[in-house]
Amino acid sequence: MSSIALIGLPGSGKSTIGRQLARRLLLSFADSDHVIEHRLGCSIREFFEREGEDRFRDIEESVIDELSQGQDCVLSTGGGAVLRPANRQRLHDRCQVVYLRSSPEEVFRRLRHDRNRPLLQVADPLQRLKDLYAARDPLYREAAHYVIDTGRPSVATLVNMIVMQLELAPGAAARGGPGPV
């Protein structure tokens, strides 16, 4: 088995589903945003405001490079990780990448009361999500081996859907586990 990376919009369920998927597959779980915050000693939001997006993306790229070539795990990435071509390539080459596709409306419904997401602290958070989706959906698709529409299924159902996709991958049985498409 290789690592499984989850990508998608902020709020698409990468961390929640990732933890459950890791438990189900008996793998460790890594959240690139949490690793980054631990290294920085401050929140991503604080660092972003102080140092800017480019510096943050440099650190994110380094962390994704490291996490995607370590021991097999389920890796939850930040919503903007796919903005860097190197991240898309590394994730695609080293992991089985699952794009948790959520519509901007679904994400807004889930997060509309979340005050900890700087992304939504704008005049029109739904429009912001629509803009992010329009810009990032092609990048998520480029990096992904699988696309799972999150819609309204429960976390357990989504985990089952992902496991089924991984088990159905060509060559999975021959190698004793999931394989790339």
**According to the annotation, is 43 in a ligand binding site?**
no
In terms of Cα–Cα distance, which of 9, 7, 8 is closest to 125?
9
Three-state secondary structure along 22-86? HHHHCCEEEEHHHHHHHHHCCCHHHHHHHHCHHHHHHHHHHHHHHHCCCCCEEEECCCCHHHCHH
Q: What are the Cα distances from residue 48, in Å, to 45, 59, 97?
A: 5, 11, 26
Cα 90 to chain centroid, rounded? 14
Q: How far apart are CA 102 and CA 124, in angstroms?
A: 18
In terms of Cα–Cα distance, which of 113, 115, 33 is closest to 79?
33
**According to the annotation, is 57 in a ligand binding site?**
yes
Q: What are the Cα distances from residue 71, in Å, to 67, 142, 157?
A: 8, 24, 26
**According to the annotation, is 88 in a ligand binding site?**
no
**According to the annotation, is 117 in a ligand binding site?**
yes
Which residues are CB-neighbours of 23 under 8 A, at least 6 positions away? 29
**According to the annotation, is 84 in a ligand binding site?**
no
**According to the annotation, is 110 in a ligand binding site?**
no
**According to the annotation, is 128 in a ligand binding site?**
no
**According to the annotation, is 23 in a ligand binding site?**
no
**According to the annotation, is 16 in a ligand binding site?**
yes
Binding residues are: 11-16, 33, 57, 79, 117, 136
Binding residues for substrate are: 33, 57, 79, 136
Binding residues for Mg(2+) are: 15
Binding residues for ATP are: 11-16, 117
